[in-house]
């Protein structure tokens, strides 16, 4: 009897959580401030006392620790957040741009995949150039032109390893979701992509290379980000667009640039992409990494209900300027957990809620992801989350929250079709296989597009 | 030849004029002391870059480009500079601590502090305590610089300071830590002499120590 009651309680909690978060996306004031707090594989492994390197090869090793943390910490998303960068696939490819440190953390060293003199090749066809020039530099076992057989085996291994890891992680999160009543996101409604100039920078020209290109060859940079647009646009679109799904953009370069360069080189193509997506009803979720206070006027022009995650900044100013138009999140300093007493943590949480919650359009989260156990104090983390849950309660749930999003307000730009000699269109496929019915198109192109997305992910 | 222009152009990160100026200078077969004056003018320009960064007119990307510009300038001047290193104001052993593979901040600091006249021995990224200890033993630098981006770097910095202490080297050097996660509190916890999140400020701290 008790178990059935428990199950019913969990199911109710799951429905409540889902309705609560969906209210925010539907531009309504929710019952209480939703909490988006999760912990990644590295920190959960440390909590469990499991060798970090082993957990990277088998994330299931941390399942009981993840379960314990879900039990201790109240959040409206699964407290176990998993991990994307794993050695099983990066090492299979001989990655130089995502490698393990001596202490077992996967990291991105500053690598150059595209040379300054190769801009014209890139502009001519970015995807061809990535396959022929960038990947062989950043992955020693992906040299498609010189060692095609080995490269094919390698990429197949890497894709399988990535899918296996994903299946394990998704399975673990599904079990925890059922047990603790977290809301379930509709599959295929989420995407992730980088701003065009960020992807050109991170592992292609590199942060230091791009810092020089901006001054030496700005017109090439501009042409390159524009040439990249059809690929970037394509990769970001999830299989299914709903009001609750989104495409995630971690934004890297802007705060390290002068406004003059930002406004002419970085912003235009990204703004175009976010607007194109808005015109399709696809919301963007953006992480404004570092301190974006000097760019708030630009952010103000983004489509209504863009979900904006801040790292640093003045919470009051951000709420005042952006709170009526956008769904704001994060900004609460993780460092509070280790530098303040439990009572101070509770007081600071309440102060923060008082600033950010009024009127809705707000989801609680921290400014940074925690990486090691010493980044947090679990007792204080529990106290912060429970304070948000109990203090962040609205008196007017169901009221309209702020400006409403209408996709008709946005105009889609003309986007050139994505083309590459390494990309087979359905028309070409049909020419080779004339008996293929039209209904097979999705199956055929899903496989082709999975390769494009995987290749793109290797430039992250 | 007006060196004030050179300083101004370096400060403005006007690569074209800086390189044009240096090429003309070299064509005149200058003496080594003339070349030293040119280097000093470039260094003044770099100090101006640091000032503009602190004022919020330049950003990290500009510092990286400034480092590149200065390296380019010194490469051009090398044939006329000779090998006299008596003008070095001090020496720094610099590295990213173990567990951390990031080096952009370290490299910015290196080029700026080199521009300020320091000799820098850069031991690279993800460096164990033993690498810092053996390099300090070998070089006997004035300063040790430790860099890191991830929060886990803080413990690695503490390990490194303890390693230097155990090797009896701690009191012979000043230690500066730099990077995103360092704070006044973490500096005290680590046992460093000073900290910075700002390469230009880091240079000032080092210059102050060498006075």
Q: Tell whether B204 and B119 lie within a shared domain.
A: yes
Q: Tell whether B39 and B68 lie within a shared domain.
A: yes
How many structural domains does chain B have? 2
First vs last C-alpha separation in chain B: 31
Q: What is the pLDDT of residue B136?
A: 98
Backbone angles phi, psi at B30, to 5 degrees: -75, 165
Q: Tell whether B64 and B134 lie within a shared domain.
A: no
**Interval B36-66: pLDDT, tens:** 899 999 989 999 999 999 999 999 999 999 9
Give B126's contacts in chain A (Cβ within 8 Å): 101-102
Q: Tell whether B154 and B54 lie within a shared domain.
A: no
Q: Tell whether B109 and B158 lie within a shared domain.
A: yes
Q: What is the pLDDT of residue B82?
A: 73
> Which of B13, B62, B151 is the closest to A372 by Cβ?
B151
B102–A261: do the CB atoms touch at under 8 Å? no
> Which of A101, A208, A214 is the closest to B100 by Cβ?
A101
Give B155's contacts in chain A (Cβ within 8 Å): 372, 374
Is the sign of the CA dihedral A302, A305, A309, A314 positive or negative?
positive
Q: Tell whether B99 and B75 lie within a shared domain.
A: no
B150–A211: do the CB atoms touch at under 8 Å? no
ipTM score for this prediction: 0.90
Residue A264 sits at the chain B interface (C-beta within 8 Å): no
Give A211's contacts in chain B (Cβ within 8 Å): 60-62, 64-65, 68
**Interval B128-167: pLDDT, tens:** 999 999 999 999 999 999 999 998 899 999 999 999 999 9
A112: which 2 tokens? 């150059």
Q: What is the pLDDT of residue B84?
A: 61
A107–B102: do the CB atoms touch at under 8 Å? yes
A102–B99: do the CB atoms touch at under 8 Å? yes
- The CATH number assigned to the domain holding B190 equals 3.40.50.280
Containing domain of residue B70, as a range? 3-81
Beta strands B194-196 and A246-251, pairing class? unpaired
Q: What is the pLDDT of residue A1?
A: 47
Q: Who's near A370: CB < 8 A, 6+ residues apart?
A: A39, A40, A43, A334, A376, B151
B101: distance to nearest CA of chain A, Å? 6
B56: distance to nearest CA of chain A, Å? 9
Q: Tell whether B105 and B152 lie within a shared domain.
A: yes
Containing A328, the helix (H) or strand (E) segment is: strand A327-330
Q: Tell whether B66 and B113 lie within a shared domain.
A: no
Which of B15, B50, B81 terminates a domain? The answer is B81
B59–A210: do the CB atoms touch at under 8 Å? no
Give A374's contacts in chain B (Cβ within 8 Å): 151, 154-155
Q: What is the pLDDT of residue A229?
A: 98
Series of mean pLDDT values for 10-residue runs along chain A (460 residues): 67 96 98 98 97 95 98 98 95 96 91 97 98 97 96 97 96 97 95 98 96 97 98 98 98 96 98 98 97 97 98 97 98 94 98 98 96 94 98 98 98 98 97 97 97 96
The residue of A52, A104, A107, A374 whose CB has the most chain B CBs within 10 angstroms, and thus the best one to mutate to test that interface, is: A107
Q: Would you tell me which residues 336-355 of chain A have a C-beta closer than 8 angstroms to some C-beta of chain B?
A: 339
What is the rounded CA–CA span in Å between residue B69 and residue A444?
Answer: 50
A372–B65: do the CB atoms touch at under 8 Å? no
What is the rounded CA–CA span in Å between residue A259 and residue A298?
Answer: 10
Q: Tell whether B120 and B57 lie within a shared domain.
A: no
Average the pLDDT over B171-195 and give the result.
95
Containing A329, the helix (H) or strand (E) segment is: strand A327-330
Beta strands A80-82 and A39-40, pairing class? parallel
A101–B99: do the CB atoms touch at under 8 Å? yes
> Which of B64, B65, B126 is the closest to A101 by Cβ?
B126
B14: which 2 tokens? 């006007």
Cβ atoms A437, A112 nearer than 8 A = no
Taking the mean position of all CA atoms in its chain, how far away is CA A318? 21
> Which of B59, B99, B151 is the closest to A258 by Cβ?
B59
**Interval B80-135: pLDDT, tens:** 887 666 678 999 999 999 999 999 999 999 999 998 899 999 999 999 999 999 99
Q: Tell whether B20 and B68 lie within a shared domain.
A: yes
Q: Tell whether B109 and B152 lie within a shared domain.
A: yes
B68–A256: do the CB atoms touch at under 8 Å? no
Residue in this structure with the two tokens 């640093």, named with its chain if needed? A312
Backbone angles phi, psi at A58, to 5 degrees: -145, 90
A107–B104: do the CB atoms touch at under 8 Å? no
- The CATH number assigned to the domain holding B52 equals 1.10.1240.10
A28: distance to nearest CA of chain B, Å? 37
How many residue pairs bridge chain A and chain B with CB atoms within 8 Å of each other? 77
Which of B36, B61, B81 terminates a domain? The answer is B81
Is the sign of the CA dihedral A317, A262, A138, B132 positive or negative?
negative
pLDDT class for B211, splitting at 50, 70, 90? Answer: confident
Which of B51, B81, B111 terminates a domain? The answer is B81
A105–B62: do the CB atoms touch at under 8 Å? no
Q: What is the pLDDT of residue B88?
A: 86
For the range B44-47, what are the long-range contacts, defined as Cβ-Cβ under 8 Å and sequence gap of 24 or more? B44/B7, B44/B10, B44/B11, B45/B6, B45/B7, B45/B8, B45/B9, B45/B10, B45/B11, B46/B10, B46/B11, B46/B70, B46/B112, B46/B115, B46/B116, B47/B115, B47/B116
Residue A257 sits at the chain B interface (C-beta within 8 Å): yes
Q: Tell whether B73 and B95 lie within a shared domain.
A: no
What is the greatest pairwise CA distance in chain A? 73
């Amino acid at each position: 009897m008790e178990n059935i009651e428990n199950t019913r309680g969990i199911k109710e909690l799951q429905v409540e959580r889902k309705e609560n978060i969906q209210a925010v996306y539907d531009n309504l004031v929710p019952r209480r401030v939703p909490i988006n707090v999760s912990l990644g594989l590295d920190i959960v492994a440390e909590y469990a006392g499991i060798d970090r390197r082993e957990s990277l090869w088998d994330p299931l090793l941390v399942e009981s620790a993840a379960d314990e943390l879900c039990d201790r910490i109240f959040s409206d998303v699964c407290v176990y957040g998993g991990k994307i960068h794993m050695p099983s696939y990066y090492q299979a490819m001989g990655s130089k741009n995502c490698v393990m440190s001596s202490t077992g953390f996967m990291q991105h060293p500053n690598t150059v995949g595209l040379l300054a003199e190769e801009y014209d090749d890139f502009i001519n066809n970015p995807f061809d150039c990535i396959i022929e020039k960038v990947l062989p530099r950043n992955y020693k076992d992906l040299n498609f032109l010189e060692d095609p057989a080995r490269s094919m085996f390698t990429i197949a291994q890497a894709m399988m390893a990535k899918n296996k890891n994903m299946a394990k992680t998704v399975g673990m999160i599904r079990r925890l979701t059922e047990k603790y009543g977290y809301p379930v996101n509709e599959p295929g409604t989420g995407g992730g992509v980088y701003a065009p100039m960020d992807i050109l920078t991170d592992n292609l020209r590199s942060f230091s290379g791009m810092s020089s290109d901006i001054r030496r060859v700005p017109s090439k940079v501009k042409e390159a980000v524009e040439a990249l647009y059809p690929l970037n646009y394509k990769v970001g679109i999830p299989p299914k667009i709903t009001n609750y799904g989104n495409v995630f953009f971690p934004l890297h370069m802007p705060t390290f640039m002068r406004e003059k360069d930002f406004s002419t080189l970085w912003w235009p193509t990204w703004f175009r992409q976010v607007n194109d997506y808005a015109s399709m009803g696809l919301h963007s979720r953006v992480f404004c990494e570092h301190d974006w206070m000097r760019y708030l006027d630009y952010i103000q022009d983004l489509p209504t209900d863009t979900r904006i995650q801040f790292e640093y900044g003045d919470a009051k100013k951000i709420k005042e300027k952006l709170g009526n138009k956008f769904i704001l999140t994060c900004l609460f300093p993780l460092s509070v957990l280790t530098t303040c007493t439990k009572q101070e943590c509770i007081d600071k949480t309440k102060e923060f809620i008082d600033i950010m919650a009024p009127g809705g359009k707000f989801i609680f989260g921290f400014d940074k992801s925690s990486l090691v156990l010493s980044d947090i104090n679990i007792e204080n983390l529990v106290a912060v989350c429970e304070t948000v849950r109990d203090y962040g309660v609205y008196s007017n749930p169901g009221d309209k929250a702020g400006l409403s999003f209408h996709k008709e307000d946005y105009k889609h730009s003309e986007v050139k079709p994505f083309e590459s000699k390494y990309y087979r269109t359905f028309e070409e496929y049909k020419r080779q296989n004339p008996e293929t019915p039209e209904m097979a198109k999705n199956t055929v192109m899903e496989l082709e597009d999975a390769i494009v997305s995987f290749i793109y992910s290797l430039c992250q | 030849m007006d060196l004030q222009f050179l300083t101004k152009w370096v400060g403005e990160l006007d690569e074209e004029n800086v390189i044009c100026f240096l090429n003309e200078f070299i064509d005149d077969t200058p003496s080594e002391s003339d070349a030293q004056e040119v280097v000093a003018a470039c260094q003044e320009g770099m100090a101006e870059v640091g000032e503009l960064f602190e004022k919020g007119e330049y950003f990290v990307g500009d510092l990286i480009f400034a480092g590149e510009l200065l390296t380019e300038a010194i490469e051009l001047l090398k044939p006329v500079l000779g090998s006299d290193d008596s003008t070095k104001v001090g020496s720094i052993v610099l590295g990213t601590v173990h567990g951390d593979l990031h080096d952009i901040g370290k490299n910015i600091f290196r080029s700026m502090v080199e521009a300020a006249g320091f000799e820098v021995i850069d031991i690279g990224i993800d460096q164990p305590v033993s690498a810092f200890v053996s390099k300090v033993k070998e070089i006997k630098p004035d300063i040790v610089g430790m860099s890191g981006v991830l929060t886990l770097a803080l413990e690695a910095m503490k390990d490194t300071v303890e390693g230097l202490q155990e090797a009896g080297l701690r009191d012979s050097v000043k230690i500066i830590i730099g990077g995103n996660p360092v704070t006044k509190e973490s500096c005290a916890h680590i046992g460093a002499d000073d900290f910075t999140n700002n390469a230009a400020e880091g240079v000032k701290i080092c210059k102050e120590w060498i006075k």
